Amino acid sequence: MAMANMIMRRFKPVFRLATLALCGLCSALAQADTLSGWVVKIVDGDTIAVRDTSNRQHMVRLVGADAPDHLQAFGDQSQQNLGSLVYGRDVTVEWERHDPYGRIVGKVMVALPNCIASACPKVLDAGLAQVAAGFAWWFRPYAGQQPAEDRRTYEQAEFQAKIRRLGLWSGKNPAPPWERRY
């Protein structure tokens, strides 16, 4: 027992260093990845196809937004609005996970629509823009996947769209897609 204690005391700094290194590796693995490319398809109001510089196509689901399905009221308008924001444009997708369908779930950043210079900064969050325009709900069931600041921003954007009766909020009792899916 005394020998074990002596070994533990002697190697304690090494164990601490190894533990810190392992923690650093784990946090690095948990950090978001970034996908850069251009939008080649608008699937619906919350899903796009992005082609990267290697010519690989990735399906991307907007984090924090859930748009009406095609058969729901405002489904087509939601898809058109997302298309006007991102179709054919360069985007950066900040993401951490895939959904059960294999899509990347991420924050899609694009330059403002009125910026035509090639070096425009990507400052517009497409999911937030969909929510603010009334073409998507803030996706509350998965709010925990967003940073706290984004949750507050999305919640406020949805509230403003509701009180201004924008998009889907202009109808009576809009039903969120997550309540209608089978």
- pLDDT at site 19: 36
Q: What is the pTM of this model?
A: 0.80
- pLDDT at site 181: 55
Of all residues in the chain, the percent with pLDDT exceeding 90 is: 65
Indicate if 111 and 136 belong to the same structural domain. Answer: yes
Indicate if 10 and 77 belong to the same structural domain. Answer: no
Indicate if 6 and 62 belong to the same structural domain. Answer: no
Indicate if 19 and 103 belong to the same structural domain. Answer: no
Indicate if 64 and 1 belong to the same structural domain. Answer: no
pLDDT band at 31 (very low <50, low <70, confident <90, very high): low
Indicate if 18 and 44 belong to the same structural domain. Answer: no
Q: Which of 121, 109, 133, 143 is nearest to 37 (CA)?
A: 109
For residue 136 the two structure tokens come to 């998507």
Range of the domain at 131: 33-180
How far apart are the C-alpha atoms of 121 and 150, rounded to whole Å?
Answer: 19
pLDDT band at 22 (very low <50, low <70, confident <90, very high): very low
Indicate if 21 and 39 belong to the same structural domain. Answer: no
How far apart are the C-alpha atoms of 97 and 160, rounded to whole Å?
Answer: 29
Q: Which of 156, 147, 135 is nearest to 63 (CA)?
A: 147
Indicate if 125 and 63 belong to the same structural domain. Answer: yes
pLDDT tens digit sequence for 119-161: 899 999 999 999 999 999 999 888 888 999 999 999 999 999 9
Indicate if 61 and 82 belong to the same structural domain. Answer: yes
| Domain total in the chain | 2
Indicate the SS3 state at residue 133: coil
Give the CA distances from residue 52 to residues 36, 48, 49, 118, 126, in Å, rounded to whole numbers and listed in that order. 6, 13, 10, 17, 18
Indicate if 133 and 46 belong to the same structural domain. Answer: yes
Q: Which of 65, 66, 59 is nearest to 102 (CA)?
A: 59
pLDDT tens digit sequence for 43-81: 999 999 999 999 999 999 999 999 998 888 999 999 999
Q: What is the CATH number of the domain that holds 64?
A: 2.40.50.90
Q: Which amino acid is at 169?
A: W
Indicate if 8 and 77 belong to the same structural domain. Answer: no
Indicate if 94 and 137 belong to the same structural domain. Answer: yes
